Structure 1
Amino acid sequence: MFKRIAAMIIMGSTAASLSGCLVAESTYLKKVEEADTLTSGLGELQKKHDQLIADNTALKQAHEKLKVEAAGLSKDKQELEQVLKAKSDTLSHNISELRQKVTALEAENNALKAEIINLQKVKEEKVKEVSGTYEQLLQNMKNEIAQGQVTISELKGKLTVNMEAAILFDSGKADVKPDGLSILQKMVDTLKSVKDKAIRIEGHTDNVQISGPLTHSFPTNWELSAARAINVTRYLQKQGLDPAMLSAAAFGEFKPVAENDTKEGRAKNRRIEITLVAKD
């Protein structure tokens, strides 16, 4: 009985001992598993730490590079600002000069416009004066004009009175005949009123050469045309025209207005022209 009880005690103790060993082993395994998990996590954290250190180093390098570039940009900015300021100063100076030039040109243009307006008025007055002279001469010499002995033309402010030589001179003569003086007298008052034009008297002939006794006075048509022009000029001077406004010119047969192969053409070429021209 005692032995049975002892055996039972031994068996109970053994069972209790085995039960305690099983609990300790389970806890150990759990701790080992936790340690492995922590070791694995530590490795990952170490890798992440190493990567972060590498990234940090790269960022620091980038930061330093950016600081250097920023310093360079700051210097470039200062230089650019200096260049821009210099250009701005130059432009301001140029603009100031241009404004002065524009002001001067505007003043000059205004003066020129005023002068143009004034010249236009003067021109209009001169045109009116020439036109007035033209109208007066037409009225005064309407009979001679009607007979075809006198023509009066006006072109671009130039007025010309064309008179056939036959109404002023006898054939081969240079002295103005009485009837011719009467015709010239019709123009005197009108020509006296001309103030801003010179009066040119031109002598013209046909191409028939001087012959016979006339050659003693007029060797060629030059002398005849000159003498006739001068005599008309002298008459106008005697009638009170300012001699400073008068001039005489001789063209002989070298400025015809018609053909010399007909009697009518030669008659037209033998002429005196009184022309109002611009003063020298």
Structure 2
Amino acid sequence: MMRNFIIGLSVLFYVLSGAIIFRALEIPARKTSYRNDQEGLKPKNLPPKVEDMLGKFSKEQAANQALIKEMRATIAKLEDRLSKKTKEIQANVKDQEAYKKARVLAVLGGGAFSSGQVVIGVDLMNAVKELVPAIQASPDNRVIIEGHTDNIPIKSSAGKQYSDNMELSFLRAKAVALILEKYSISLGRISVIGYGDTRSVASNDTDEGRAKNRRVEVKLIPGDKEF
């Protein structure tokens, strides 16, 4: 009897299993899809006021991005200019250090130049000639020739031959440079500078002081840097 009961349960199990499988086959497969784009994520049917706020926000965001880009470009330019200026300052410091090491060969003055004039006399030419051996003995040094004047205005002393004392001082230094060239000192080694009456060594209130200020200084500086 127990055996028949077990057989009955088995038959009932198989019948129920078949029914479940049959129902499963009747259910159609559902198709699924996935959208991963902005339109799919955007809320639908937003109120006009909200749409307007979102539009303004997008425009402001774009404007801010453009401003940030412009600021970055400006900062990059400033950094580049700062870098160049720093290099110029460093180079200038090196030049100043080299200038401090300058050796003064001669101060040609003490009445060598008349007020407002560039004319070089025989005595001054001979004094310049005497500098040639020292310059030739220092081939790795640059020759700096600095011209100076007294403070007498050009208009009253030279009949407007020169525009001002700066030009006059430069021409005095240039005249000395041309004498050195005559004695085989290359102009490529020479730097000519005119300081006018800005670097006086004596008072311009007396004739003696003004005579000392009308001068040309010849110096040697290590290296070939042009000044």
TM-score, structure 2 normalization = 0.50
Aligned position for 1:181: 125
Greater Cα offset, 237-246 or 212-221: 212-221
Aligned position for 2:220: 276
Q: Supply the distance in 1 between the matched residues of 2:134 and 2:192 (Cα, whole angstroms).
A: 19
Match of 2:207 among 247, 263, 266: 263
1:91-131 CA deviation, whole Å, 9 max, x = no partner?
xxxxxxxxxxxxxxxxxxxxxxxxxxxxxxxxxxxxxxxxx
Q: Supply the distance in 2 between the matched residues of 1:175 and 1:251 (Cα, whole angstroms).
A: 18
Contact 2:101–2:222 (Cα < 8 Å) also in 1 = no
Match of 1:163 among 91, 94, 108: 108
- Structure 2 residue 198 is matched with structure 1 residue 223: no
Q: Supply the distance in 1 between the matched residues of 2:136 and 2:183 (Cα, whole angstroms).
A: 9
Alignment RMSD (CA, Å): 2.1
1:62-100 CA deviation, whole Å, 9 max, x = no partner?
xxxxxxxxxxxxxxxxxxxxxxxxxxxxxxxxxxxxxxx
List aligned pairs for 1:1-280, cutoff 5 A. 157-160=101-104, 161-164=106-109, 166-167=111-112, 169-212=113-156, 214-279=158-223, 280=225
Amino acid paired to 1:162: V
- Aligned residue pairs total 125
Contact 1:210–1:221 (Cα < 8 Å) also in 2 = yes
TM-score, structure 1 normalization = 0.41
Higher-Rg structure is: 1
Contact 1:165–1:272 (Cα < 8 Å) also in 2 = no
**What is the deviation of 1:157?**
4.2
1:207-227 CA deviation, whole Å, 9 max, x = no partner?
111134724321211111111
Structure showing greater relative contact order (alpha-carbon pairs closer than 8 Å, 6 or more residues apart):
2
Aligned position for 1:143: none
Amino acid paired to 1:211: K
**What is the deviation of 1:177?**
1.5
Contact 1:205–1:271 (Cα < 8 Å) also in 2 = yes
Amino acid paired to 2:146: E
- Structure 2, gaps ≥5 residues long: 1-98
Amino acid paired to 2:191: S
Distance verdict in 2 for CA 1:158–1:213, change over 3 Å: closer
Distance verdict in 2 for CA 1:171–1:265, change over 3 Å: closer
**What is the deviation of 1:165?**
5.6
Q: Supply the distance in 2 between the matched residues of 1:212 and 1:261 (Cα, whole angstroms).
A: 16
Amino acid paired to 1:183: A
Distance verdict in 2 for CA 1:236–1:213, change over 3 Å: same
Higher helix share: 1
Instruction: Please state whether the residue corresponding to 1:247 is helix, strand or coil.
Output: strand
**What is the deviation of 1:194?**
1.4
Contact 1:204–1:251 (Cα < 8 Å) also in 2 = yes
**What is the deviation of 1:263?**
2.5
Contact 2:108–2:124 (Cα < 8 Å) also in 1 = no
Identity of paired residues, percent?
33
Contact 1:201–1:233 (Cα < 8 Å) also in 2 = yes
Distance verdict in 2 for CA 1:270–1:213, change over 3 Å: closer
**What is the deviation of 1:158?**
2.5
Contact 1:159–1:275 (Cα < 8 Å) also in 2 = yes
Instruction: Please state whether the residue corresponding to 2:217 is helix, strand or coil.
Output: strand
Amino acid paired to 1:229: A
